[in-house]
Structure 1
Amino acid sequence: MGIPCYFLVSCILLSPVAAAAVSQHWSPATATWYGSPEGDGSDGGACGYGSLVDVKPFRARVGAVSPVLFKGGEGCGACYKVRCLDRSICSRRAVTVIITDECPGGYCSGGRTHFDLSGAAFGRLAVSGDGGQLRNRGEIPVIFRRTPCKYPGRNIAFHVNEGSTNYWLSLLVEFEGGDGDVGSMHIREANSNQWLEMSHVWGANWCIVGGPLQGPFSVKLTTLSTGKTLSARGVIPQNWAVKATYTSRLNFNH
């Protein structure tokens, strides 16, 4: 059986709605890279996406951020445009990255705004053919801004985490378009009009303690950045299974 939600230190309700997800204003930051030079960074990471970071649409478009952007996991799934400033080696185009991990120490400590990108994403900041030279520089100055997340042909999905039961149900949110971040999450049981509030466990994972919980379940998401709401009716069937992923017919940018 999974760890009860109330035993987890990080199982708390999220903070009120923050600033808008889309910004035309560029802000200064710094960037490094991790993993293999042409790789996708770490497997999984602090958001809990697991092997999704290795396949499209995440592949080579992922990165870790310092705590000021990670926000205790609330920043998971947010998308940013990042652009390098050194015109002698950097392309003028920005690279779009999805936040899948946290970098808590080193360059990311002390309240700094820092991106630790996958090797592939970092290399794409350079002009064609100079990715290796740019990676050799280590830390570089960049500018960044929030941008809508886009997953063509994908709808929001919910992965039932290992350990879930009819009394402790934990879900991972995947492929959330638009804002990309989750501010609150509710679940509604079969034959009920009541939305039950779920609690943030860690990363992009949410849970609810109750029971016995009766499926099928509808799930309602509210984004952290702009407070947009989407409800997926009956998305998780009555005979749901642990480790299964259930895809809705909806997304925020459709």
Structure 2
Amino acid sequence: MKSLFCLLLVCILVASAAAVADLHWYPATATWYGSPEGDGSDGGACGYGSLVDVKPFRARVGAVSPVLFKGGEGCGACYKVKCLDNSICSRRAVTVIITDECPGGYCSNGRTHFDLSGAAFGRMAVAGGHGLLRNRGEISVIYRRTPCKYPGKNVAFRVNEGSTNFWLSLLVEFEDGDGDVGSMQVRQANSNQWLEMTHIWGANWCIIAGPLQGPFSVKLTTLSTGKTLSARDVIPRNWTPKATYTSRLKFFA
């Protein structure tokens, strides 16, 4: 019985990982924005703010069409993107983190499109061909989901500006693995009840209740595979808006 349980658990974990680490490539198009060697936008429609200006985000950010943005629930997902023009593109793919949405132009009418930072776009070129590739404008690419990796970083929760004891808003940072968030809950001090948070925009979630009393435990479930993280008392009793609190936990299935 124990052996059967272990086998079933392995199968579940493998299937869960495959849902994110998709080995199949899908067609899309890509453009770039900002300065030629730039890092892209300052958080954009996901709300990451200045976090995208520093590693591990730096030069790896990208905006996507609504098909992949998913109303903000696609924020934080990681993709490998590869150019198809062998005359100017290398065989390597660039890994990008979704931090923004491009709702119009190339990204409209249900198209699957990546609008990458200038630096990320140029990295798909052969040596010395960065400028030539950027001059192409829109290009054909293939893409696939890939697990997000943030070496040396634990999952963190930023308390958004304007949060009070009656309106608490959180943003997730450095989410390894799936990268995206499908639901989030908080639990107050001395309580066994998890309170459901509401997705408001981008990667931001909130709860209207109160008065809310910290410390708060946070539980989130990823959109892609349903993996769950429960961080106990990660936000202290004396929390402050605009502060970021780091958990000591990793994701588990």
Tell me if both proteins adopt one fold, taking TM over 0.5 as the criterion: yes
Q: Which residue number corresponds to residue 156 of structure 2?
A: 157
Q: Which residue number corresponds to residue 139 of structure 1?
A: 138
Q: Which residue number corresponds to residue 23 of structure 2?
A: 24
Question: How well do the aligned residues superpose, as a CA RMSD in angstroms?
Answer: 1.2
Counterpart of 2:197, as a letter, is M
Q: Which residue number corresponds to residue 115 of structure 1?
A: 114
Q: Which residue number corresponds to residue 64 of structure 2?
A: 65
What do residues 188-238 of structure 1 show as CA deviations (whole Å, max 9, x unaligned)?
000001100100010110000100000000000100000000100000000
Q: Which residue number corresponds to residue 7 of structure 1?
A: none
CA drift of 1:21 comes to: 1.9
Residue correspondence of structure 1 range 1-254 to structure 2 within 5 A? 20-252=19-251
What do residues 55-77 of structure 1 show as CA deviations (whole Å, max 9, x unaligned)?
00000001000000000001000
Q: Secondary structure at the match of 1:212?
A: coil
Q: Which residue number corresponds to residue 14 of structure 1?
A: none
Q: Aligned equivalents of 1:185 and 1:210: distance in 2?
A: 15
Q: Aligned equivalents of 1:166 and 1:178: distance in 2?
A: 31
Give 5+ residue unaligned stretches, structure 2.
Answer: 1-15
CA drift of 1:94 comes to: 0.5
Q: Secondary structure at the match of 1:69?
A: helix
Question: Between the two proteins, what is the percent identity of the paired residues?
Answer: 86
Q: Aligned equivalents of 1:128 and 1:244: distance in 2?
A: 41
Q: Which residue number corresponds to residue 3 of structure 1?
A: none
Q: Aligned equivalents of 1:113 and 1:217: distance in 2?
A: 38
Q: Secondary structure at the match of 1:141?
A: strand
Q: Secondary structure at the match of 1:71?
A: helix
Q: Secondary structure at the match of 2:44?
A: coil
Aligned length: 236
Task: Mark the structure with the bigger radius of gyration.
Answer: 2
Give 5+ residue unaligned stretches, structure 1.
Answer: 1-16
Counterpart of 1:32, as a letter, is T
Structure with greater helix share of residues: 2
Q: Secondary structure at the match of 2:46?
A: coil
Q: Aligned equivalents of 2:250 and 2:141: distance in 1?
A: 30
Q: Aligned equivalents of 2:138 and 2:111: distance in 1?
A: 13
CA drift of 1:125 comes to: 0.5
> Normalising by the residue count of structure 2, what TM-score does the alignment of the two structures yield?
0.92
Structure 1 runs of 4+ aligned residues shifted over 3 Å read none
Q: Aligned equivalents of 1:212 and 1:21: distance in 2?
A: 38
